[in-house]
Structure 1
Amino acid sequence: MSMVEEFYDEEEELVGFRFNPSEEELILDYLLPKLGFYQPKTIYLLEDKDEIYAKVPWRLKHTENGIFEPNEWFYFVKKTNRKVKGWKATGGLKDVLSKKNGKVIGKKRNRSFYVEGERSGWTMTEYSSIGNQNQLLCHLKGP
């Protein structure tokens, strides 16, 4: 094997890799293991970000890790019962279905962040499991 072939074999796994899981994968491979239902299969761990509802999204300290698309992050968040100023639901709570058997495996809710009554361009999708709606996996996107 030449040096060039060795180099490409070692680097091949990460070249062009982006974190782009389906809704089903977010729940089954990330949220449920976080809740302790089983061991995670993946090595990429998402951050806990409990202040996501306490600050405007552009003032959060976002970790740039190179696997997320630009202006896009995924966080584990504890659900708060208070109304979040600025974040408004853009639809009702929707089911997330298993592609394998069509059963409901979780729920999702889309939100947009508003400033003085106008959309800011920031969106968030909150994912929850059926058994625990207090721990969320949030997909946050900036403009």
Structure 2
Amino acid sequence: FQSLTFIKRAVLRFILNRQILIHRMAAAIMFAPGITFAPTEQQIFLQYLIPKIQENEAALVGSPITEFDIYDQDPISTEFPGHEFFPPDEYWYFVWRVPLSPSSSKPNRFIEDLVNDGKWKQTGKPKIIKLGNTVILGKRNTLDFVTVEEKKTGWRMYEYERILEAPLFQHMVVVHIFYRL
């Protein structure tokens, strides 16, 4: 089993390094008008989240994804910093999450804002994101922003996180936020 794990890690490392090289080359190219940021879920992990977790800043040069504390303010009254390649009313950020308590494995998603109190409420089951059929990259959580009265606001967020062995808490995630009626 150890040699199989070693081979999987070597293959994943090779693919990750290849994806980083492709990303660097793409960042250096001037995009034509009409091009929008639309990464695959695998690219979110391989080109953005994994390098960010590994503190590989060189791999993130030219990245349109920046850090933003979405859990510090409600999306209704927030002016999101965007990027020229983001589609209208869609945003991607690196977000540092904090647990509900020091021993909790669940993130604190409550927002106490002077304008709109609420929370990001998870809907449905997490989707497992794989590379091919065997290598698990992480999972995607779907969350809706709801008021304290549990009313949906139209704001939805996909939260991409690596899957760590319990009791480890994954602080850094990538989020994709968008508004839908």
Shorter chain as denominator, the TM-score bin is: 0.7 to 0.9
Matched, 1:137 2:174: yes
Task: Please show how residues 100-139 of structure 1 align to structure 2 within 5 Å.
Answer: 101-115=133-147, 116-131=149-164, 133-139=170-176
State the identity as a percent. Answer: 28
Task: Please show how residues 61-76 of structure 1 align to structure 2 within 5 Å.
Answer: 61-76=79-94
Q: Is the 8 A contact 1:72 1:142 kept in 2?
A: yes
RMSD of aligned residue pairs (Cα, Å): 2.3
Task: Please show how residues 1-143 of structure 1 align to structure 2 within 5 Å.
Answer: 13-36=31-54, 38=56, 39-40=58-59, 43-50=62-69, 52-82=70-100, 83-85=108-110, 86-99=119-132, 101-115=133-147, 116-131=149-164, 133-143=170-180
Which AA in structure 2 matches 1:97? K
Q: What secondary structure, in the 3-state scheme, does the structure 1 residue paired with 2:157 have? A: strand
Distance 1:126 1:43 in 2: 22
Identify the structure with the greater strand proportion: 1
Distance 1:15 1:118 in 2: 38
Residues 86-137 of structure 1, C-alpha deviations (whole Å, 9 max, x = no match)? 21100233311113x4321111111001122221110001111235721100
Distance 1:93 1:133 in 2: 15
Unmatched 5+ residue regions in structure 2?
Answer: 1-28, 101-107, 111-118
Identify the structure with the greater helix proportion: 2
Unmatched 5+ residue regions in structure 1?
Answer: 1-10
- What is the Cα deviation at residue 42 of structure 1? 6.1
